[in-house]
Amino acid sequence: MTIRSLWAIGSKVADPLSEAAFFEALGAERKSVDRRGDDVVVFMTLGGFHFHLTNRLRYETVGAASTGWPSGLAHFVLDVTDMMRLADKAVSLGAAQVHPRLHLTAAHGEMKAAFLRSPGGILFQLVERLREADAEYAKSYAGPSERVIG
């Protein structure tokens, strides 16, 4: 189990599509958009770095975060090789799991994910990317889905 890289930064904004247009004007590339009812997630790259913009954070509806989350940078995302083991290790070291662990299928690919809060209060996400979005994936993609794991 290893951390491969800082993969993305997640941000909450009132209007993800308008915010995405702003960053596109600065040179960002919109990679995909997922919609789950009223929730919108825009996945982008800028300077080779991934970031996503959303109007509602997944962990806002669970536990202490259910009171809502202000707009702005919300969490960082680490690309890892064994998400379940590393999430278990983080919890054993005092991190709190702030949302059930998920197997996610989204426009940008398929992954396992855990949302955690460090003992000092920093929110972060561990992702084990299982399948990247490519032409073959795009043909089979039927929209976002998620299921709780572990």
Digit-coded pLDDT (tens) for 106-126: 888 899 999 988 876 778 889
pTM across the whole model: 0.70
Which contiguous run of DSSP H or E holds residue 50?
strand 49-54
Write down how long the chain is. 150
SS3 call for 91: helix
pLDDT band per the 50, 70, 90 thresholds, residue 128: very high
Residue type at 100 in one-letter notation: P
Distance CA 59, CA 8 (A): 16
Residue type at 69 in one-letter notation: W
Measured distance between the N- and C-terminal CA atoms of the chain, rounded to whole angstroms: 17
User: All domains of the chain, ordered by start, with CATH?
Assistant: 3-148 (3.10.180.10)
Quick check: 144 and 106 in contact, CB under 8 A? Answer: yes
Quick check: 21 and 122 in contact, CB under 8 A? Answer: no
Average pLDDT, the chain: 86
Quick check: 107 and 34 in contact, CB under 8 A? Answer: yes
Digit-coded pLDDT (tens) for 37-81: 888 999 999 878 888 888 888 777 665 544 567 777 888 888 889
Q: What is the mean pLDDT of residues 20-45?
A: 90
Q: What is the pLDDT at residue 14? A: 84
Query: Could you give the percent of the chain with pLDDT greater than 70?
Result: 93
Q: What are the strands, taking DSSP E only, across 55-122? A: 72-80, 96-106, 109-117
